[in-house]
Homo-oligomer: A and B are copies of this chain.
């Protein structure tokens, strides 16, 4: 079958690999119906060391169950399913608490040895714990785009707002106008935020952000951007800051605009390890820092009804669709900011 591999920075290829098969009785093999390219895929696209084996790519998908192992109980051939961007057994103490990304048997799809989702099919470990069945939706439904966002970007934006504890009356600043940032805006709106300031520079994206609920847009960055947000918040800063980028300047922006006693919630994968957290950044003003990889498995069932009944349409973040053969070009287009988020139809 065809699958997407990355062999180094900027080097993405669609190659022929053996089709996946069941390896464990808890596995399922899923035929991919929709996948996509993630903003976080661009991090290795910029920095991956060259490798001859390459790395399988893609961690977001909707698919149809092709085959299940003997211990899979809740799924059968033909079911349409959504997968979170990490797999999890569904039974360990962390899964029971909803922290599926810390599952003691689970891991991210991007882990070496796992297949990627930018492919024709994929083996899913712990199928019962990982996959969520979508009832009554066909393979060509116009809802597939919105359902696909439950695999990562919507759940990740939701996680940013949920970990921050966004609630009625909050002043929320969202840093980043990528798909996750825009869906963090949507999530903050759903949780009752009063003012939502979106920090981003791409007008087509920030316009969509306004549709999702942003009340203000700040295009400036650095000190200018900080001054602008402070001006918009009566000099005090935002009670909740959702950081959906992952680069150090975005984090520096975050503690520059957060209100004393407020929360910074990060969901952009940090491309740094050390950063300021002392008296002058977080401590002095009792600012809390939270966030991490979103346990989207915990959110799919809760968020799905409003997607299915059309209350929300997070799939609007997809502004291009490509076939599997065109995935390398999709990376290029997302990296150049020609496209916001690209859907893949194998």
Contact = CB atoms under 8 A, between A and B. Distances in A.
Interface of A: 93-94, 97, 99, 101-102, 163, 236, 260-261, 266, 269-270, 272-293, 295
Nearest to A235: B104
Contacts of A278: 270, 272-275
B94 A261 contact: yes
A260 B94 contact: yes
Contacts of A261: 94, 97, 99, 102
B163 A285 contact: no
Contacts of A282: 289, 292
One complex includes copies of this chain to the number of 2
A31 B65 CA distance: 78
Contact of A291 (B101, B163, B236, B286): B286
B287 A292 contact: yes
Contacts of A290: 286, 288-289
A289 B277 contact: yes
> Considering residues A99, A275, A277, A281, which has the most beta carbons from chain B within 10 angstroms of its beta carbon?
A277
Given A94-B261, A97-B261, A283 B292 contact: yes
Contacts of A99: 260-261, 286
A288 B102 contact: no
A280 B292 CA distance: 11
B292 A289 contact: no
A275 B251 CA distance: 13
Given A94-B260, A99-B260, A261-B102, A269 B289 contact: no
Contacts of A288: 163, 288-290
Given A102-B261, A260-B99, A261-B99, A284 B276 contact: no
Contact of A273 (B102, B280, B287): B280
14 contacts: A93-B236, A94-B260, A97-B261, A102-B286, A269-B279, A269-B283, A273-B277, A275-B277, A277-B277, A283-B291, A283-B292, A286-B291, A286-B293, A288-B289
A268 to B, nearest CB: 9
Nearest to A286: B292
A6 to B, nearest CB: 19
A65 to B, nearest CB: 30
Nearest to A93: B236
Given A261-B99, A292-B282, A274 B272 contact: no
